[in-house]
Amino acid sequence: MQPEHPTAVFAANGGGTRHGFAGALASAGRKLLSFPAMLAGGLAVIAALTVSTRFNDPDLWFHLRLGQIVWTTHSIPSTDIFSFTAQGHSWIAHEWLAELGAYAAYRAGGYAGLMVCFMGLACLLFALVYLLCYRRCGSSLTAFLGGVCAWFFGTVGLALRPMLLGYLFLAAELILLELALRNRRWLWLLPPLFAVWVNCHGSYYFGMGVLGVYWLCSFAKGKWGPVVAEARDKGDRKAFGLALILSALALFANPIGIRLLLYPIHFALQQSAQMNTVQEWLPSDLRSGRALAMIAAVISIPAISSLRRQELPLREVVALAAAFAMAVQHVRMLPVFGIVVSPVLCEVLAPMLGSDRKRNHPAANGLFLCGFLAAIVWAFPAAADLQRQVTSGSPAGAVDYIRRTNLPGPMLNEHVFGDYLIWALPERKVFIDGRGDVFVWTGVFQEYGRWATLQEDPRILLDKYKIRFCLMSKDAPMTFVLPYLPGWRKVYSDDVAAVFAR
């Protein structure tokens, strides 16, 4: 039974303000202790437990350092200031706002502040996916399964990086579009969303594509098997078109200008060297569990719809096809696929799984929610645990050694260590870091790739850049080669890294 509208409560009690407030408070309490809210809490626990051990992403450190620079200088770097191999080369800080937010969280609470931000964003992401799925299917249990589906694909890219905000903005956009199909006034929230999105992560291009698909499909009319398209009225078509134009104009609300908008295109067309070597940019392994699940979902959706005579809106099919194509080409696009496929899957499966039970159990739901909250508090890493996560995957000991002994440079560092060095050892210029773009443009990425994989005499690169010491991961191929080069010796080693000097 739906709770009474607050005005009805107000009238029933003779217009008493106190009674109206009490009724609203009771309604809020019922919603908080409802079955859908309890399932949302379950998703939050899953998200919190997942991210609690994922603090030390290698890219985090560069984002923190860039955010620190923006915070302290009130300006956004436009050239490389972190390496000696590409120093002064033009470069675009395309995620500056997300990086500023990350540093603000660090400044407020250190590593613990970052983890609070990480957990909060992850929980919010899956809560939005859950809401989106519920809007599509009307069943909280089915929506919960949709949230789990999004989590399953999302764990590939669930890290404290700007792309987490990209996933969150995509889920928010899909909710707004779903609401706009019933009330087009929701469309006017899209331009400000894109104005923020463009300064945080390049995934806004996919978001603009989704909005464009919704606008184009508002003109289409027809039926192709289970796929249907119903033309919207003239007012809706104009509203979607205007929202698309305003959202495109909102992309210019950035301090970098047109170069920021061209960056994702330039990256996609001219960064093949990075895409062919960095794990997250490689094609999905079609034998992996996630890839098989992705293929199964794409096949089962039209199959079940055909058998049960369910209709699939054309706009959802096109968006799903685009997400599937990107996820097949790049592993890092699997979370995008998860966000897009989950509500479609819920819509198809809801009639088979049945609707929610009419009877609710507020006391039981409250107990579960208390247990979920306790689990999140228990899962939150202590300061020592966060520090252990950092030192277990970063060359913290090697950095201390380099600073203590003041080893003369230049330094050649392993690619994966570059971002941490930019944060933890800012007084030293790195050879290379996680920004593949600027190093591909200068040719350094290709040179380093040949050196690290022993495709040429390693002394060529070492002599060209007059390298005095190398910081490598303990198991890197060059770790076993450097001691045999004339004049080189190991001066430091631990479980993570080794330092070689000449």
Q: What is the pLDDT of residues 444-490, one digit of tens each?
A: 999 999 999 999 999 999 999 999 999 999 999 999 999 999 999 99
pLDDT, average across residues 247-262: 95
Check whether the bond before 410 is cis (ω within 30° of 0): yes
412, exposed or middle or buried, with CB in 10 Å at 0-12, 13-18, 19+? buried
Rounded to two decimals, what is the model's pTM?
A: 0.91
For residues 4 and 377, what is the distance between their CA atoms, to the nearest angstrom?
35
Inter-residue contact 490 to 500 (CB < 8 Å): yes
Q: How confident is the model at residue 272 (pLDDT cuts 50, 70, 90)?
A: low
Half-sphere exposure of 87 (CA within 13 A, CB side): 9
Nearest to 428 by CA among 437, 418, 438, 436: 418
Inter-residue contact 130 to 146 (CB < 8 Å): yes
Residue 258: the pLDDT is 94
pLDDT digit string (tens) for 202-232? 999 999 999 999 999 999 999 999 999 999 9
For residues 389 and 368, what is the distance between their CA atoms, to the nearest angstrom?
30
Inter-residue contact 425 to 402 (CB < 8 Å): yes
Q: Which residue has 């799984």 as its token pair?
A: 353
pLDDT digit string (tens) for 33-81? 888 899 999 999 999 999 999 998 999 999 999 999 999 999 999 999 9
For residues 274 and 270, what is the distance between their CA atoms, to the nearest angstrom?
9
Nearest to 31 by CA among 55, 63, 54, 1: 1
Residue 359: the pLDDT is 60
The angle, 0 to 180 degrees and rounded to 10, between the axes of the packed helices 190-197 and 162-180 is 170
Structure tokens at 40: 């949302």
